[in-house]
Amino acid sequence: MSEHFSEQAFLPLKIAILTVSDSRGEDQDSSGRYLKESAEAAGHRVVAKAIVPDDVYQLRAVVSRWIADPEVNVILSTGGTGVTGRDSTPEAVRPLFDKGIEGFGELFRQVSFEEIGASTIQSRAIAGLANGTFVFCLPGSTGACRTAWENILRPQLDIRTRPCNFAQLIPRLREQ
């Protein structure tokens, strides 16, 4: 298990949150709201939030804009990671990655298996690095977002987590 290194000061990250849905508006967006509230409660700043339909090109346009913005360190997307015909988040976002973080999807499904059993096989949660920005694509359910946030994202986005974390890598992500 990870632990905190108390001598290190907390580093707030700048996070953008994207909900991918054909049916949810701001009032129904419990997953996006959960991620925003959780990130802010952890001390991070939410610098952008949007809802887009399950459309490869609209989704890719928003994510592209955010990965080009030096004020965004992390993008959290929720929705569109299932296997139905309209689920297109992995197809939209994966081509934007400079590097994939394959272990994220694997770890998410492992942790999720403990909660929902074999149903986790339907999740195509992915993560990667694009232009020095971490991108995490989560399922659309609030429970799945909670699972990812509590078990993976919160500790990995906290620079105090040891032995290592994503936050400490941010200054080095654009090295050549």
- pLDDT for 27 equals 84
Would you list the domain boundaries of the chain?
3-171
- Which residues are registered as beta bridge partners of 136? 76, 127
Residue with tokens 């296997």: 83
Instruction: Give percent above pLDDT 90 in the chain.
Output: 89
First-to-last C-alpha distance (Å) of the chain: 32
pLDDT in tens, 69-124: 999 999 999 999 999 989 999 999 999 999 999 999 999 999 999 999 999 999 99
* DSSP-based three-state secondary structure for 121: helix
- pLDDT for 100 equals 98
pTM given for the model: 0.95
- pLDDT for 175 equals 85
Would the pLDDT of 4 be above 80? no
| Distance in angstroms (rounded) separating the CA atoms of residues 157 and 148 | 12
Residues 3-171: name the CATH superfamily. MoaB/Mog-like domain (3.40.980.10)
What number is the average pLDDT over the span 19-37?
91
Would the pLDDT of 1 be above 60? no
In terms of Cβ atoms closer than 10 Å to its own Cβ (0-12, 13-18, 19+), residue 89 is: buried
8 alpha carbon, distance to own chain's centre = 24
Which region, left, alpha or beta, applies to residue 31 given φ > 0 means left and ψ of -120 to 50 means alpha? alpha
| Distance in angstroms (rounded) separating the CA atoms of residues 73 and 83 | 28
